[in-house]
Structure 1
Amino acid sequence: MDTLYDTTSLKLKKEFPDAEDFLPLNGTDHVELYVGNAKQAAHFYKTAFGFQSVAYAGLETGVKDRVSYVLQQNKIRLVLTTPLGEGGPINDHLNRHGDGVKNVALWVDDATKSFEETTKRGAEVAFEPYTIEDENGKVTLSGIKTYGDTVHVFVDRSEYNGPFMPGYKSWESHYNPKGAGLEYIDHMVGNVGWGEMNKWVDFYARVMGFAQLVSFDDKDISTEYTALMSKVMTNGNGRIKFPINEPAEGKKKSQIEEYIDFYNGAGVQHIAVATNDIITTVDHLKDQGVEFLYVPETYYDDLLERVGDIEEEVSELRKRGILVDRDDEGYLLQLFTKPVADRPTLFFEIIQRKGAKSFGKGNFKALFESIEREQANRGTL
């Protein structure tokens, strides 16, 4: 399998001049989820989402306290980790949060420098820089704490040529289903508590050198019943985008409040993954059992009046519930899964950008009304 990225140092164009970008970040290295049963979760992500087997760590590789399966689809890499005994931090995380994102790992040229730059600006230490080695080379890692129990891990793998990193072995599987056309992580959304959004916006600006890309208030993101506020932070080259959501006052409990109630605090709400052909991708995912939010057919009655000409047939989008929005630079198509575990917390967004750099502001009302229908079914609205 191709490596995730060219591991030589990149000189990426700076797309957002307001970002200080002192780290800098080259992209998302991987996302690690703590899950109750990694073997079964890996089968789900392979079967339903089309990920491929990459690497494994566990008893057979000398790891005694956990097992991890590494999956990849194009530039998206997931690590699924489960504890092998009682007690300890992974069990604590699962007891508190259920299945969810623990580590958002960011690819850097120098993990030690990234650690020093962020901690001297006020980041709380998750773990100090350390280097691990095997016959394939070495990887240096460091970590800082962010909202809730989420950690940003800085990864320098410029001197490593193995399947994932030292401590893992290649995971050879006769079962490698067809990919779904998922290309890379477009953005990852964090839900934080009441009044905490600006605190974390400041964290990403001050500690990590990000710029604010866009802001939405409760007038932008509201329905008859619920509301939320959001600000989107980006690094300089635009490869890392983190929208930060907080609840806003409404008549009923918002999706952000529901998330925080069931996750027991702040955390990653959803992972947005990009595709170059959303219709084919959604068809594949649905055929493999992925469940999506329902969008009322009335959404499409005046779609072209709202977004202008698009290349896709409206009837094909209506059939699949795909949403469309336009900004000054083009349009985007998006669709959201239902939660991928039993708690109504983590879900995925499928997005195809045709020039647009925004986040579907025109779809917020339709999307959140769909989420409210699900909340009503769960009795949590």
Structure 2
Amino acid sequence: MSTNKTPQDLEKIVSEAEDFLPLLGTDYVELYVGNAKQSAYYYQTAWGFQPVAYSGLETGNQDSTSYVVQQGKIRLVLTSPLKQDGPINKHINDHGDGVKVVALWVDDATKSFEETVKRGAKPFLEPVTEEDEHGKVVRSGIHTYGETVHIFIERKNYKGAFLPGFKAWDKPYKTQDTGLKYIDHMVGNVGWNEMNTWCEFYANVMGFAQLVSFDDKDISTEYTALMSKVMSNGNGRIKFPINEPAEGRKKSQIEEYIDFYNGAGVQHIAVATDNIIETVTQLQQRGIDFLTVPATYYDTVLDRVGEIDEDLQPLKDLGILIDRDDEGYLLQIFTKPVLDRPTMFFEIIQRKGAQSFGKGNFKALFEAIEREQESRGTL
């Protein structure tokens, strides 16, 4: 990940964002998992991530072990405890495997901490400077929804593989990448009537602005409904849709998530590609399971979205959805949950100008999710 950009280099595209931090991008996403070694193998083998760095007993870490894997600008940290009890164990016991840290790349981690805390953020990590032979990193952090935290990472004076306390992790076993480029957005699920609270948090505490909102008329089926608002920082590199349940005849996907995750948390990570047909083909060949919509979806989709560059048949064969807004169109597909609990999943997205989130696909998508819920007995 290049570290030579400054906040001033990044064009502000969301004019309403106060953007006082500002943020350069997503630095990494850390998941607490039951078996970090096997999780790292999964993300390498099935998803095409590459080994980057390691922390554990061999590096002097007596409490936990972490494997860092990367593809494009997407960096995942997979962390497991080495001893019984402790906060990592409790997180896994309460939530199963899941996202603990959404780390944000900043120019000044101390200022980021001070600016957010004075606006009401609950401190998680006071600014700390860590050094090794490769330079120094400053980290700080704040609490967000549920037990999720944001860590601010200032790494402009660091040249190592990842962070102090980690060693470069290279191994002969490497897989071909699957064309994933960067994190497009990350979605948080929160409890009943909590969406506005957390949207206000991102606006007031972090200087974000609301891009778009969806109510239960936009996101509803015969059985279930939810509400969503999308918050973005000024340069548009960080986008956080926030979902909450809405009243429906049966239990929505948000309620199912909160029941199994035992609270609010990161629901899905949307990762961008420049060739979704190629990416999804590879992922399916490697065993990734995707949600499917009825074949009849494709009978009328071009009437709705108009002309596209791609042939429709490969999109239909793979189950890729299409939507259009005023600026262009997008292609998207969603995995089934990638964990044993029906909690976190991934979205693969290719934007052909569109800056929206696939509103035209919501009904078909959520009906597909409901079919999965029914098979699990949780609808």
TM-score of the aligned structures, taking structure 1 as reference length: 0.99
**1: distance between equivalents of 2:26 and 2:86?**
27
**Does 2:359 align with 1:361?**
yes
Residue 256 of structure 2 aligns to a residue in which SS?
helix
Distance 2:62 2:276 in 1: 41
Matched residue type, 1:256: I
**Deviation of residue 373 (structure 1)?**
0.4
Q: Deviations over 1:26-63 (max 9, x none)?
A: 00000000000000000000001000000000000000
2:66 maps to 1:29 = no
Matched residues, number: 378
Partner of 1:9: 6
Of 16, 19, 34 in structure 2, the residue corresponding to residue 18 of structure 1 is 16
* Counterpart residue identity of residue 109, structure 1: D
Within 2, Cα distance between the matches of 1:81 and 1:249? Answer: 36
What value does the CA root-mean-square deviation take over the aligned residues? 0.6
Q: How far does residue 173 in structure 1 lie from its aligned partner after superposition? A: 0.9
1:145 alignment partner, one of 143, 154, 158: 143
Q: Which residue identity lines up with residue 258 of structure 1 in the other structure? A: E
- Residue 154 of structure 1 pairs with residue 152 of structure 2: yes
Determine if contact 1:8/1:158 at 8 Å carries over to the other structure: no
C-alpha distance in 2 between matches for 1:196 and 1:348:
23
CA distance in 2, matches of 1:293, 1:235: 30
CA distance in 2, matches of 1:69, 1:368: 34
Contact 2:232 2:238 in 1 (8 A): yes
Secondary structure of the residue that 2:92 maps to in structure 1?
helix
Question: What one-letter code is carried by the residue in structure 1 that aligns with 2:2?
Answer: Y
Q: Deviations over 1:175-233 (max 9, x none)?
A: 11000000000000000000000000000000000000000000000000000000000
Deviation at 1:127, TM superposition (A): 1.2
Aligned match of 2:328:
330
Indicate conservation of the 8 Å contact 1:212/1:231, yes or no: yes
Give yes or no for the alignment of 1:306 onto 2:308. no
- What's the offset of the Cα at 1:9? 2.1
Match of 2:194 in 1: 196
| Aligned residue number for residue 129 of structure 1 | 127
Match of 1:220, SS state, is coil
Contact 1:75/1:183 (8 A) holds in 2: yes
Paired with 1:8 and 1:369, the residues of 2 have a C-alpha distance of: 43
Which runs of structure 2 are paired with 1:81-100 in the superposition (5 Å)? 81-100=79-98
Residue identity opposite 1:5 in structure 2: S
Structure 1 runs (4+) greater than 3 angstroms displaced? none
The answer as to whether partners of 2:3 and 2:155 remain within 8 angstroms in 1 is: no
Query: Do the aligned residues in 2 keep the contact of 1:31 with 1:78 (CA within 8 Å)?
Result: yes
Say whether 1:284 aligns with 2:277: no
* Runs (5+) with no aligned partner, structure 2: none
Whole-Å Cα distance in 2 between the matches of residues 284 and 154 of structure 1? 34
2:351 aligns to what SS in structure 1? strand
**Mapped partners of 2:197, 2:374: distance in 1:** 31
> 8 Å contact 1:7–1:157 — kept in the other structure?
no
* d(CA) in 1 for partners of 2:150, 2:4: 19
1:102 aligns with one of 100, 103, 121: 100
Deviation (angstroms), 1:8? 4.2
Structure 1 residue 5, shift from structure 2 partner: 2.2
Letter in 2 for 1:6: T
In 1, Cα distance between the equivalents of 2:230 and 2:192? 17
- Determine the structure 2 residue equivalent to 1:78: 76
Cα-to-partner distance string for 1:250-289 (whole Å, 9 max, x where unaligned)? 0000000000000000000000000000000000101111
CA contact (8 A) 1:332 1:352 kept: yes
CA distance in 2, matches of 1:232, 1:5: 27
Q: Partners of 2:296 and 2:263 in 1: how far apart?
A: 35
> How many Å separate the matches in 2 of 1:134 and 1:315?
53
Aligned partners of 1:40 and 1:109: how far apart in 2? 34
**Tell me, which stretches of 5 or more residues in structure 1 are unaligned?**
none
Query: Partner residue of 2:182?
Result: 184
Which one-letter code corresponds to 1:255 in the other structure?
Q
Once the 2 structures are TM-superposed, how far is the Cα of residue 6 of structure 1 from its aligned partner?
Answer: 2.8
Counterpart-to-counterpart distance in 2, 1:14 and 1:320: 36
Read off the aligned partner of 2:223 and give its amino acid letter. Answer: Y
Alpha-carbon distance between aligned partners in 2 of 1:294 and 1:131, rounded to the nearest angstrom: 47
Structure 1 residue identity aligned to 2:54: Y
Amino acid corresponding to residue 327 of structure 1 in structure 2: D
